[in-house]
Amino acid sequence: MSNNKDISNHYLHGSLLKAIESALPKLGKTTDTVTIEDLALIDEFHIGGRQATENLLNQLNFSNKEHLLDIGCGLGGASRYTSNKYSNRVTGIDLTAEYIETGNVLSQWLNLDKKVNLHQGSALSMPFQDKTFDGAFILHVGMNIEDKTQLFKEIYRVLKPGSLLGIYDIMRNGDGELIYPVPWAANKKNSYVATPSQYKQALEKAGFEVTKENNRRNFALNFFEALKRKTKAAGGPPPLGLHTLMQESTAVKLNNMIDNIVEGYIAPVEIIANKT
């Protein structure tokens, strides 16, 4: 991953666990009573949140006996959701140490730490043995990775033959200069948004067979419109949410991302691939 320190620093909060703990009383919860649903709005840092995670997982049809890999897992929200709903053992890896440290504590709060293990590290050089995992997924990660061929080669290495890889990333949808900052980058220096065709070429070069592609632009626009209505009706954002992660830059980053989608520059896209 290019410029790992800059990318990790972009996501650095500084006191993220404390911020989450401080919000719990506003939800009427404690670390002993908080649920996976209470954490959903902060736990899944991608367009559509839990709904998008469910849509991707429903296409992958993982069995509960499979050991799964969550690449670029962030706080581990998708890992915990998958393990909680489908009883899978899930391993996550992310570049940002604070996310991993916080995510492992959240797993303890939810009594999921025996089945969900989060590790700090680069997706381009993972500390896992060959053919370890039965399946994998990526949720809004590739925008920070320039060498996507190496990314998919490394994922291919750690997957067993016949495994499925589900990708849900923000991809190039058309020409035009992106407006920054956005949630994944303050400027274009560490932003590596690629087209679906470039993703598919990198996947096939790594050895995968691409079986499905699905542009989720309309889903994204509908999601943000519903989120705006809900926030306005509630008189402001909930105690926990993306604003907890991005702090004072939240509105600017989200509005720029929405504008980029509206203008047709980018869109969230699903790609399903199989390790043959």
Q: Thinking of the domain 4-275, which architecture would CATH place it in?
A: 3-Layer(aba) Sandwich (3.40)
Q: Which two tokens stand for residue 232?
A: 């306005």
Q: Are 53 and 79 in contact (CB under 8 A)?
A: no
Q: Give residue-wise pLDDT tens across range 13-42.
A: 989 999 999 999 999 999 999 999 999 989
Q: Give residue-wise pLDDT tens across range 103-156.
A: 999 999 999 999 999 999 999 999 999 999 999 999 999 999 999 999 999 999
84 SS3 class = helix
**Entry pTM:** 0.95
pLDDT over 50 (residue 1)? no
What average pLDDT does the chain have?
Answer: 95
* Structural domain boundaries in the chain: 4-275
What residues contact residue 189 under an 8 Å CB cut-off, 6+ apart?
A: 3, 6
Segments in 111-240 forming alpha helices (H): 148-158, 196-206, 217-234
**CA nearest neighbour of 41 among 203, 244, 194, 230:** 244
